[in-house]
A and B are shown apart, each in its own frame.
Chain A
C-alpha cells in the first residue's frame, strides 16, 4: 500500500515515487511511494532496519536512490548539484536522534552555526536570532554560553530543535526526536516540535519508534516494513487501521506478522 495522492491537488512539498535502494545486494527500499503536502506533518513508523532512515536520507539528498524519483517542491532532488543543491538544502532543518551538537562550540554558536557559516550572516545578528530561538524552545539566554556537554539530554534536544528551526526552514526533518528521553521530557519535546512547526508553517517529516511521539506530532502516519509503505492514513485512524502489521507495531506485541516474517528469514 502506498501513500495516496488524494491531498495533492497542488504541488506536494515532498514526493517520492517508486524509490528503490539496495546496499551490497540487500534491498532496503523496495519501491517507496510517499507524498507530503505543504504544512503537513507526516510521521514514518516502523521497526529497526526497515528503511526509515534511508528514506529520510534520500529526501535530504544524502543517499542517491538506485531508481525512482524524489521531488521537493517539484524539483528532482537526485539530480541537483552545486548552487541548486545548496538552495534546496537551505529549505531544510533537521533534528537528529542524538542531537548531534558540535561539542567544541557554545550552545548559541551551535544554533547560529548554519546562519554564520552557511548563510554568511553577521555574528551579532546570528547571536540575536540564536537567543530568540533558544527562548522559543524554553531555554534561558544564559544557556547560550554553555557547552553542550554541560546540558542534560532534554536540554540538548531543545538546543538541537532550536538549531533545526534557526534558519526558518520550510521543511523540518525529525529523526527519532524523543530517543533517550524520559516520557515526560519526551512529551515536552513533542509539544515544542508541534509548536515550532506550527509557528513556522513548515512541513514536517519525522521517523520514530515512539508511538506517543507519533500520535502527538503527526497529521498523517505511514508505516514502512521491508522497504515498502504498508499503511498510510490519518493519525486518528491509527487504532483502526485494519492492518495487522500496524496493529502489532503500535501495541508493541512480540507476536504477530512482523516477527513471524522476521523469523522465517532466518530459516
Chain B
C-alpha cells in the first residue's frame, strides 16, 4: 500500500482528524494573538502591577516542559478539583496559555525596542497622538511582530500533536489508529507529513517572505 493509497483510502479519517487539529488551532491562535497582544501591550504600557505579573508568569512558564504542563492540567489538576473536562478543552486551554505568553513576549519585545526617534520625528513633523499611533507606531510594530508571531503559530500547530497523548482525536491520533489497524508506519506517517506540509508550508513561506521583505538591511551593500 503506497502513500497515495493511504491518502485515498483513509482521507475521511485524516480530514476528520485535521478538522479537530484546525479547531484546536483556531482556539490557540485566536486567543494567543488577541490576549497575547493585549498582555504584551500591558507589559510595556500599563502600570507595573499589570505588566509585571504577565512577565513573571511568562518567565515561570518557560521553565515548564509543555508536556508536563499538559499532563498536569489533565490529570492532577482535575483530580485535585474533582473535575472532568473534555481532553479537547484541556489541550486547547494548555496550548492557548503557552501561545498567549509567547505572543505577549514577542509584542512586548517589539514595543520595548521601538525606536524613540520615530516618535520624536512624528512630533517634529507635527503629527497628532492618534496619527502617530495609527500612521507610524502600529504599521511599524505590526511589520516587526508579524513574522515571529506567524512562525510561533506554526510551532503551536506542531504542538497540537501533544493533544493526542491525552486522547484528543486530532490528526496524529487518527494516524496512530490507522497504523494500529494496518501497520504501515512509513506510509502513514509520510501521509501525515503531507497533510502538515500542506498547512504549514504556506504559513511558513509567508512568514519568511515577510521577514525578508521587511527586516532586510542593505546599508552595507
Contact = CB atoms under 8 A, between A and B. Distances in A.
Contacts of B140: 102-104
Contact of B219 (A86, A117, A156): A156
B120 A96 contact: yes
Interface string B118-129: 101101111100
B136 interface: yes
Interface residues on B, range: 20 to 34
B177 interface: no
A62 interface: yes
Contacts, number: 66
A173 B214 CA distance: 29
Contacts of B135: 117
Given A102-B136, A152-B218, A156-B219, A118 B117 contact: no
B143 A104 contact: yes
B117 A89 contact: no
B221 A152 contact: yes
A61 to B, nearest CB: 8
Mostly helix, strand, loop or mixed at chain B's interface?
A: helix
Interface in A201-246: none
Given A60-B124, A96-B120, A117-B127, A104 B139 contact: yes
A94 B124 contact: yes
A93 B121 CA distance: 9
Nearest to A118: B126
Contact of A90 (B126, B139, B217, B221): B126
A84 interface: no
A152 B125 contact: no
Interface of A: 57, 60, 62, 86, 89-90, 92-94, 96-98, 100, 102-104, 113-114, 117-119, 149-153, 156, 173
Given A92-B124, A104-B140, 9 more contacts: A89-B123, A94-B120, A100-B115, A103-B214, A117-B125, A117-B135, A149-B216, A149-B218, A152-B219
